[in-house]
Structure 1
Amino acid sequence: MGNIVKFFVAISALLLSSVVMGQQVLDRVAVIVNEGVVLESEVDQLLRQVKANAARSGAELPADKVLRIQAMDRLILTELQKQMAERMGISISDAQLEQTLIRIANEQNMTVDELRASINASGNNWSSYRESIRNEIITGEVQRAAVRRRVYIAPQEVTNLVEAMNQATEQEVEYRLGHILMGFRDNATADEVQETRERAEQLLAKLRDGADFEKAAITSSSGSRALDGGDLGWMNINSMPTLFADAVRGKSQGELIGPLRSGVGFHILKVSEIRGIEQVEISEVKARHILMAPSVILSERRAKEKLEEIRARIIAGEIDFADAAREHSADTGSAANGGELGWAEPSIYAPEFRSTIEQAEIGEISQPFKTQFGWHIAQVLDRRVQDATKRSQENRAYQLLFNRKYQEELENWQQEIRDEAYIETIIN
């Protein structure tokens, strides 16, 4: 059956190549690709585009024969992926295509009309250019669908790459350290050493509870920079004592470290500032809400009115917010927790919800507002800024690994589909 299909495809291609109007050939088949074809006009169109791009950039191109082989190879792969897209039901609408063309024009500081004029001026056809962009989008979708599942990245690979990246940049990273030394004498007894340790641990606990580090250094430290608030200035890992370097490596800005024992006493460090490394911070909010979801028995107006009534009762002290959420909220997931949504970045919420909680004061109960889910009242319980540097490093490492493996698997996959296809060159 396969040979019969190939026979009829070849016959159809030859018939198409021989269609003549007067003495002019309308088009010719360059390559048969499975049940489809690559036309001579498509090869010529791609060659014109490549030459025009090279002329604009001043790049040198190989001989026409080599260039033609490369063009045909690309069009063969495009045809194979188009055939796969049809089997997968992938298509790009005119509206999606227009959005892409607008983006391409914007990237070149042009309007779409100016882009069209530029394409036409280069000797290419605007309609053909549009279709080539459509094909690029389609093939991109096919590639992602087919190749993404072939890429596996183990968690240990991410960890290893993060460590390697950190080691490569470690020499450039500088830390500004605060230092407190709780010293003991050279011939201190074990009891004296233990007593000093306990005092250091007590001071560290106070610092973690919010005590001022500089003031504590001035009043409690026996270090040489005590009167400077314990400020040791800027140092990289190699320029600080080994005891400090081992403890500071990988720490975040604001972290307290210690007590660290040395021959002269117990040290408490504070990472006051870091420079030379990307620091990523995210703002999070802890909020709760009550949702009224309109239905066939609850109108939009009545949903809003019920929330206004509940809000008034909460403010008047007649009912607790959490109890009201458990009794009335349509968001069953949060209702069981008194309406609490936990800590989250505001960006994860619907735009109206995000806007409300970003503008609200802590403890304030909002007026009823509407999102796609229904009517809400919300209350911000707290805000915080979190260090997301580690998460950012892991995401970057994962993306680097993914991109590398994706490209490797893409090339393997393209070779596989080409090896499995029926390809016959009609015109060399």
Structure 2
Amino acid sequence: MKNSVKILALVSSLIVGTLTPAHADEALVDRVAAIVNGGVVLESEVAGLLASIKQQAKQNNQSLPSDSALRTQVMDKLINDSLLIQMGERMGIQVSDAQLDQTIARMAQDNKLSIEQFRQNIIADGTNYEVYRESIRTELIAGEVRRNSVGRRVFVSPQEIDNLLSLMKEQTNNDVEYNLGHILIEFPADPTQQDMEDAKTRANKVIELLNNGSNFAKIAIASSGDANALKGGELGWKNINEMPTLFADLIDGKAKDTVVGPIRTGLGYSIVKVLDIRGRQVVEVEEVRASHILIEPSIILSDDKAKELLQGLLEQVEAGEADFSELAKEHSDGPTAIRGGDLGWADPKSYDPAFRDALASMKVGEYHKPFRSSFGWHIIQLNDRRMIDATSQMNEKRAYQILHSRKFGIESARWMKETRDEAYIEIFEQDEK
């Protein structure tokens, strides 16, 4: 099976723990491993995720830390997931079966597989497909919670965009990408001076181990407080402008296997390793041009009524009795109404997941039946599609995306730490066997 499918299986298993051991102890099913506000993490979830990670590591010849260290990271992951899902419930975020099916279909297509082939590959990896499917739903909800909660904390000014555009015109190293590994030695909540000194001591010890040849991924899994810890700390391929500024200044021009740090941040001490270097890959991305009519439900207008209203408008358009843009000007909520619902050219990944998935299923010239996103109810008209060279295109929109992504990653980590610090979390000790 392709590595990308295996990675998807691992990532999704990090959401709820998808693997059910063949001879799991039934006594573990109802045992509570942790209380998280009004929810719980079950020992069966912990055991399932541990088994899944160990299986994936075995398939990839990846060494792992001790069971105790691995369990600590797994508990952290499941606690974070529980917090996000609880927040999603309060925010009313839902992922329908249709949206879930569209997402899985796109994952299969990305791996050049049919849906049935994709399903069989997941099962062949020893994972219960129905549980895996639900873990994708959970992943989508958690991602939407992060976008809604963190997005409002991120602001990119016009001056920042101008500064980045000017900088990129002067750079001569835009053709280089770095695959980075990251280990975060976290500060506790409200750290004292001694806490910070202790964290720096641990960070220096990690750097010493790495410089003496220790396995980066193994140490990241055992010690890192970063969200990517269970993936061996790998951040993926980035050029200088796409990585956090603190990292970029230290990484620029460095050779493969270089370790830099400790780098002091608001969360703790970061250690970064250059895992690999390559020439920048030519990346083509699809852009779509679409128009939509948005109806926002309210106390006066229920969800059902909003959906019914849009269905009536769509039937008028399809019967040739009305023009889509004119109906948008008259009925649509939001800033695009004045333009007849025209959203202009955009990367579909920048849209709400439900909107993005709806676009993925459409052909040029088609209309999409009413569907729900986090903004309200929509109908869409897909006007056109095109492919562009994302590596050569540099305009204000691209600069904004780079800056927003940079800030979002930093703010997301801060927000998650604040969320945990404010939560009631009680972890129960594992019974000795």
Larger Cα Rg: Structure 1 or Structure 2? 1
Shared fold, TM over 0.5: no
Larger relative helix fraction: 1
TM-score of the aligned structures, taking structure 1 as reference length = 0.45
TM-score of the aligned structures, taking structure 2 as reference length = 0.44
